[in-house]
Amino acid sequence: MADTICIVDDDVKNINSAGYILSREGFDVMGFKSGRAFLKNIDKGNIPALVLLDVKMPEMDGFETLIEIKKTKAADVPVIFLTGDEREESRKKGLELGAVDFIEKPFVPDVLIERVRTVTGRVKE
């Protein structure tokens, strides 16, 4: 799972869209509809290379999920927030909690690919 990108978003359309785009670029992708489901996966020892995390989700939002990720074996895994929330406070909070970047939704495929490549260190072949 070390080369896998996990997408955590309560909207299956976003998971499918980002997953399709990244899969076409050669990335292995897993999707989770909640922070809790993703955290259970980490508890099983599945540590991804990168997490794309939605900010606004029911039950446990992206900020709460990131706080919990930082308490696990995946604490050093980079997290990029996927969000439609453009408020400066949200970006500041996310970065303070340890996110490495934000990608606005609806995301532009080329932007998603390049940011994921940058964070994972995978250059275009």
Q: How far is CA 25 from the centre of its chain?
A: 17
Residue 125 has pLDDT above 60, yes or no: no
H helix or E strand, kind and range, residue 63:
helix 62-69
Domains and CATH numbers, the chain: 4-106 (3.40.50.2300)
pTM comes to: 0.95
Average pLDDT of the chain to the nearest whole number: 94
- Give the model confidence (pLDDT) of 77-94 as tens digits: 999 999 887 788 989 999
At 119 the pLDDT is 95
Residue with tokens 């080369």: 3
Taking the C-alpha atoms of residue 98 and residue 79, their distance in angstroms, rounded to an integer, is 8
- Reply yes or no on whether the pLDDT at 55 is more than 70: yes
